Amino acid sequence: MSPRPLKMSIVAMRVALGIIFLWFGLLKFYSPNPVYDLLKATFSFLADPPGIYFLGALEMLIGLGLIINIFPKITHRILILHLLGTFATFFISPGIMFDPYFPFLTLVGEFVVKNFVLAIGGLIVLWGSALHAKNNG
């Protein structure tokens, strides 16, 4: 793939991820909050309004960081830590992830599994940006 389509693909993935994080972050400021039960079962200290608002603000910062491409190393580190926290749900509260048992996912489980795409997308953006900078810098 020539450098221009590769660069445009990385930009498109970065902006798409940014929109998702910005949108999901904004949702945390409205009731009913779609992730309340998930937080209550896993990271209960985040389930009350201050925690949910903190998480929402963090997601919005990730989204804005991706969309406008500022502080990319910090943004990507926070994104990866956020998604690792999300994946921890499988170990902390498997009862809300599987029904009746593994591998049958609940709706919450499906919600968390989709984060694998976000995680890999984040890695593609991070590594692709670094590769592009190395080859053109």
pLDDT digits (tens, 9 = 90+) for 31-70: 777 788 888 889 999 988 899 999 999 999 999 999 999 8
What are 67-85's pLDDT values in tens digits? 999 888 899 889 889 988 8
Q: Is 78 exposed, middle or buried (0-12, 13-18, 19+ CB in 10 A)?
A: middle
Structural domain range at position 91: 3-136
What is the dihedral sign for C-alpha 14, 16, 22, 25? negative
Tokens of 101: 């048992």
Number of folded domains that form the chain: 1
Report the distance separating Cα 76 and Cα 78, nearest Å.
5
Tokens of 130: 């670094």
User: How high is the pLDDT of residue 132?
Assistant: 67
